[in-house]
Structure 1
């Protein structure tokens, strides 16, 4: 997938264009146009899809794995869960029943296949979600703004809680100002540690440089140079700590285990929450830095008083009047849809060229033409030109 193909036009979906007289394959591909609108860390979009009859297979694209920031693939798996939830929300809207099956070999070192969603045109659509979520698939966005000093009404919090019906995932809403202040301090410490790591900055700079966050060609490369060259830890820690404290509510998704399937379900729940929040004019903003450091992750669990649970996903909830700003996506036809998937011995695998590409890292792209991402370079610029650190 070429970075020049990133576009925001994918958000301009018209449900009236659904091919009602088409084949089940055409139906599935139309639904996948909603799946690719899911959020992902650094907007890395680490998903690939294959359609076989009424089955949609979801794969992890390891070429888009953030090896430094996301060493254990927690964020990658949460991102995949978000895409699955978008797909299921769209399927239910268009009248499909569906079944989601998670791959029980997900822990395997060479396991690509994450899940299969099977569409049932004559099935009963799921009605467990709060109403109005489908309309938010093209409206949801991530806010990086300070939130207004305005509490979330109880009715809104009740709607958010209705989004959590996966038995393995629980939602903790944190409103106590002292606890939020302590989490803000933990956030600052995590930012300082991460931004002190040159490899972390190099990885972040790469995604900024290809324009994944929607900047112009010039600004993207300036941002890459600044983030890669300078330690912006002090600035990031102060900014993000303020963002934490400004939120009337912090959300924390917790699971019973740290297994990949639990993380994928976390992503599904988060996306459901984000869509419901958007339907109620509430902005959302994932904050992943604390969770990227094992000792800080443990401290967060203690601060949030979650007992024996595993903290998986921290995010802000609040109100802002900032304009909605969608980040670009690679269109379905430009890479996310895989037409060469093979089926062997009951397991799904990407084609050999895709498997080679999947293992290419940005650092190797200059010498490996089959890699997904071209390496980019940028001039050194002022520290003040750098954008905020992107999140999911």
Structure 2
């Protein structure tokens, strides 16, 4: 006799478990403690087996019958329902372990092994946090373009246009990695190109007027504070490298005898080692700093611990304390200042200036050529530049061509 909801509700516990049968192998097992469990009895290869479907009332009578019918269809195709259930459970576990956040972390681990620069890795970890929460837990293969767009729109609505676009690009990298490792079939991020508002190109504020730049240099000379910050400030305009590269300078990278600072590729934005010629002024600054921090790893150690360099925003914070707003000058702006004033001097090959700034040029052959062909010119340019900014600091704004008669290359 077929079961009814009334009969199920009225079934009371007994001292021993007992069954209430439905039809075609479906029955309800009533336990002494009151639980009511759905089971399906079937035979496979002549052996009687049981399939657990769940408990009542979580699984209704209608749902139990539907599950029984699905199991019978599997049997009709020689599929053991218990094996299929176990396989589905394994696949669900795999999907859970292949969440967006998990795949993203695996990609970051891969990039770490490949030697990606630490600042870039930190930014990738930050992106994972921004795309965390429920989205990060979603199986990477099941995320739709609309779902990703919903996450990105949260940042766009807050005016974080650049962040939204960077997150889309990062998510796209994660999806492409998932495709390459057979855990997804498409890249939803690629389908969203053009869907977000494009952020305006960000230009780092910089002082390019010689007289105003001289005033900045005088303010740096008068700066009082942590010696690491003070000397990093003094060195920055002379070498005009990226702030992260300067703050992470290690003494093992500096060759005082050859007057060169070699930045390893792991610290460079373009993943290519970069040699920086050091002027007499740069060497003097580093020599003074070495007497203070030479026993440690970093040239400019943090005031809190010598095992880490000064923080990422230290130079900018010092500029603010000196009275220069974020719209006037930034640590990165020293690169713009040097590029502008060196080009305006008319004395140096623009390619040599670009190479000094560690800007990547197209083509591997040309990159190799730039590494060596402009080195003598860059050495001369480094000394000319230090002499020039010394004069600007002292109050002059002449080109100094008379004092340094170097013909253009």
The alignment's TM-score, normalised by the length of structure 2, stands at: 0.24
Q: Which has the higher contact order (CA 8 A, sep 6+)?
A: 1
| Structure richer in strand, relative to its length | 1
The alignment's TM-score, normalised by the length of structure 1, stands at: 0.25
